[in-house]
Amino acid sequence: MTIDWNAFTPVSALAGGAMIGLAAAAFLLINGRIAGISGIIGGLLRPQAGDNIWRIAFLAGLVLAPLAWTVAVAAPDLTIAASYPVLIIAGLIVGLSTRYGSGCTSGHGVCGISRLSPRSIVATLCFMATGFATVYVIRHLGGF
Amino acid sequence: MNRHNLSAFVVGLVFGLGLLVSGLANPAKVLAFLDLAGNWDPSLALVMGAAIAVGLVTFTLVKRRGTTLLGGPLRLPSARNLDKRLVLGSLAFGVGWGLAGICPGPALVAMGAGEIKALVFTIAMLAGMGLFELLEKPRTA
């Protein structure tokens, strides 16, 4: 392992992380809900009366965040290197697996660990482990 | 728009800005974090650390309070069992995450930034979630 100190952005990482934590806390405090993105999206595919608008409102906020950032600061710096076939396979896996496993980085990784849920701690260890392993296989064992 | 929905919108916006500020919305940065054996960028460990540090304190306070500011109940997940679905689902999620460096929140944020590749990922993700609903229907019906 070599640490890429030039790419390391500790201040923005801590500030952005704190914003994510505060947003999740505010959602529990005001709406009484867990800010788990896969669950919020997934609920729309199983629509129930009176349970849809808040989901759409939350997701609209997420989607509009780059516009707000562009107006206030600058166009966000995003690089997606994956090819279209890989994106489609990855998207299918992420969609199916996060519903099957009841959560993703936000619901398990941030909210679940914050409330010390054993399920979320196990889930986070699982997806971190295979996330590291997958990138290792692709970048260092010549997969794909 | 009632207070619940307005609050959901504002929280979604702040959450999305947090993803942008932290770098978690940038798939290249996510992959640089997941690449332990390469030129490792540890930034996202700090993102998770800060989010959880804030979350640990605030979630404890809100749980002690017991109700929401709007007077409603806290809807916390009640499942406690460590089952095969949780473990296999999460293991598979890591594979999907590692393939492209994109998880659900950042997918929507990058789509909002006008990235066509994020739109394609999001459509595939929705298809995957739809497939889950089809597979689950016989169970719940």
* pLDDT tens digits, B83-101: 999 999 999 999 999 999 9
Looking at residue B140, what is its pLDDT? 58
Query: What CA–CA distance (Å, rounded) separates A63 from A144?
Result: 30
Q: Which of A70, A32, A57 is nearest to B13 (CA)?
A: A57
CB-CB contact of A63 with B25 (8 Å): no
User: Which residues of B fall within a CB distance of 8 Å from A20?
Assistant: 15, 18-19, 22, 24, 47, 50-51
Looking at residue B126, what is its pLDDT? 98
* pLDDT tens digits, A105-133: 999 999 999 999 999 999 999 999 999 99
In a domain, A57, yes or no: yes
User: Which residues of A fall within a CB distance of 8 Å from B78?
Assistant: none
In a domain, A54, yes or no: yes
Looking at residue B141, what is its pLDDT? 52
DSSP B55: H
Mean pLDDT calculated for residue range B18-40: 96
Query: What CA–CA distance (Å, rounded) separates A93 from A102?
Result: 14
User: Which residues of B fall within a CB distance of 8 Å from A99?
Assistant: 89, 128-129, 132-133
Mutate to test the interface with A, among B35, B63, B108, B111 (most CBs of A within 10 A): B108
CA–CA min distance A107, chain B (Å): 10
Query: What CA–CA distance (Å, rounded) separates A16 from A11?
Result: 8
Looking at residue B84, what is its pLDDT? 96
Looking at residue B1, what is its pLDDT? 67
In the predicted model, what is the mean pLDDT of chain B? 94
Among residues of chain A, what percentage have pLDDT more than 90?
96
Looking at residue B139, what is its pLDDT? 64
In a domain, A123, yes or no: yes
Mean pLDDT calculated for residue range B118-140: 92
**Residue A102 pLDDT > 90:** yes
Mutate to test the interface with A, among B2, B7, B11 (most CBs of A within 10 A): B11
User: Which residues of B fall within a CB distance of 8 Å from A127?
Assistant: 90-91, 93-94, 97
Q: Say yes or no for a CB contact (<8 Å) between B47 and A17.
A: yes
Looking at residue A103, what is its pLDDT? 96
CA–CA min distance B56, chain A (Å): 4
In a domain, A3, yes or no: no
CA–CA min distance A59, chain B (Å): 6
* pLDDT tens digits, B102-127: 999 999 999 999 999 999 999 999 99
Q: Say yes or no for a CB contact (<8 Å) between B96 and A97.
A: yes
* pLDDT tens digits, B37-89: 999 999 999 999 999 999 999 999 999 999 999 889 999 988 889 999 999 99
CA distances from B56 to A20, A131, B9, B77 (A): 12, 24, 23, 16
Looking at residue B71, what is its pLDDT? 87
In a domain, A98, yes or no: yes
Q: Which residues, 6+ apart, have CB-to-CB distance to A58 below 8 Å? A: A27, A35, A40, B8, B9, B11, B12, B15
CA–CA min distance A50, chain B (Å): 11
CA–CA min distance B84, chain A (Å): 9
- Please give the tally of structural domains in chain A: 1
In a domain, A4, yes or no: no
In a domain, A1, yes or no: no
- Please name the member of A7, A10, A96 whose beta carbon is closest to the beta carbon of B131: A96
Q: Say yes or no for a CB contact (<8 Å) between B14 and A61.
A: yes
ipTM of the complex in this document: 0.96
- Sole residue written with tokens 């996202």: B44
CA distances from B44 to B11, B50, B120 (A): 21, 10, 24
In a domain, A51, yes or no: yes
Looking at residue A107, what is its pLDDT? 95
Looking at residue A143, what is its pLDDT? 59
Domain span holding position A38: 10-140
